[in-house]
Amino acid sequence: MNKKTIDNVGDYLKSNGIKPSFQRIRIFEYLLNSKEHPKVDDIYRELIQEIPTLSKTTVYNTLNLFMEKGIVHLVTIEGTENRYDVNIEDHGHFKCEVCGRVFDFEILEGDLKTDLPEGFVISQKDLFFRGTCADCSRKKN
Ligand SMILES: [Zn+2]
Ligand SMILES: [Zn+2]
């Protein structure tokens, strides 16, 4: 599902077989509203201010549950960095080498075609570009 079409997070979690606890809803909402593919630390640091009982383990476990149910993807950008994404349609990522932010972009040619031989099953497609974002380009000039 595209993130633009989710209007009730509780119902969305339920329809994916997840019991919508308050913490789960807030974690998913945070991912939904963040355009920058947050890391566990980002999510934890932000939500602990609102939910003092939250632990980093809960954030990890919740993200793992979301991934298991297929509503969150791990963004594979650089080996050491685990970033999470609620946009589970095929799309590309652009990492700015100046500010470090990661942006989504749509893949306009429709489907990403491959020449993989028969028998290969694709579970996720990643397209990764890097460069300088518009904000940083402007600052440079
Ligand atoms: Zn930038
Ligand atoms: Zn993304």
Asked if 9 and 57 sit in the same domain, the reply is: yes
Q: Which of 41, 47, 7 is nearest to 24 (CA)?
A: 47
How many contiguous H segments (helices) and E segments (strands) does the chain have?
5, 5
pLDDT score at 1: 44
The total number of structural domains that make up the chain:
2
Tokens of 9: 């997070």
pLDDT tens-digit map of 122-134: 877 778 899 999 9
Helix axes 40-47, 22-33, angle to 10 degrees: 120
Task: Determine the 3-state secondary structure of 44 from DSSP.
Answer: helix
Q: How far is the CA of 99 from the centre of ligand 1 (A)?
A: 4
Whether this prediction's pTM lies above 0.75 is answered by yes
pLDDT tens-digit map of 58-71: 999 999 999 999 99
Give the domain range for residue 53. Answer: 3-85
Asked if 14 and 79 sit in the same domain, the reply is: yes
Residue type (1 letter), 103: F
Asked if 80 and 103 sit in the same domain, the reply is: no
Which CATH number covers residue 72?
Answer: 1.10.10.10
Q: How far is the CA of 116 from the centre of ligand 1 (A)?
A: 34
